[in-house]
Chain A
Amino acid sequence: SAVISQKPSRDICQRGTSLTIQCQVDSQVTMMFWYRQQPGQSLTLIATANQGSEATYESGFVIDKFPISRPNLTFSTLTVSNMSPEDSSIYLCSAHFGTGDTGELFFGEGSRLTVL
């Protein structure tokens, strides 16, 4: 198994500001992902954090709004830029471990952002 730590666990932010969420994995991993879970909604994939290259964003998400860094195989950050109340969500970091029959996603505990 793997342990994924996120910080901050929660924050209250003002409209127009930016916040960076950190994700630390306790072992090296190739694939890391960022998800958003809006209130009462399911998880929506924001992007794949690629080590050493630009993140791959899903439809509806752009780098200017959600810049992502992945400096090494155990760490990634997600920044939520120029926040508005609509960005109030839980942001989840995940990492894929294993292959074939044993592959699975592990998740951090999430970062709950409230934008006022």
Chain B
Amino acid sequence: AQRVTQPEKLLSVFKGAPVELKCNYSYSGSPELFWYVQYSRQRLQLLLRHISRESIKGFTADLNKGETSFHLKKPFAQEEDSAMYYCALNTGGFKTIFGAGTRLFVKA
């Protein structure tokens, strides 16, 4: 079955602390994974994609096929990182399924 699992509904960290948002997936093919973010009162938007191996706003995510994971990390959280984060999986034909989402709250 194709599935994206984000085990944490809420993650609260202090400003300057490291943050890791967990994502695990289940997919029989070669996975194409993404992180999308929704800031308060804004629309859902792409944060980063695994295929690009990029760092956006200090966030990185590494695909670990052995552990079927794609965790999102940032070494030093900022208050403006507070948002809803969704891990997503392209299941073919550009169809994308989403995890349940993790709300990140960065405290001052």
Contacts and interface: CB of A to CB of B under 8 A. Distances in A.
Interface of A: 31, 33, 41-45, 48, 92, 96, 100-101, 103-110
Counting contact residues on chain B (CB < 8 A from A), the size range is 20 to 34
B100 A103 contact: no
A59 to B, nearest CB: 11
Given A43-B86, A48-B95, A107 B43 contact: yes
Given A42-B86, A110-B43, A105 B49 contact: no
Given A41-B100, A45-B95, A107-B44, 10 more contacts: A33-B96, A42-B99, A48-B93, A100-B51, A101-B49, A103-B94, A104-B46, A105-B46, A107-B43, A107-B45
The binding surface of chain B is classed by DSSP as strand
Contacts of B52: 101
A31 to B, nearest CB: 5
Contacts of B100: 41-42
A85 to B, nearest CB: 22
Interface string B40-68: 00011110010110000000000000000
Contact of B51 (A33, A44, A101, A107): A101
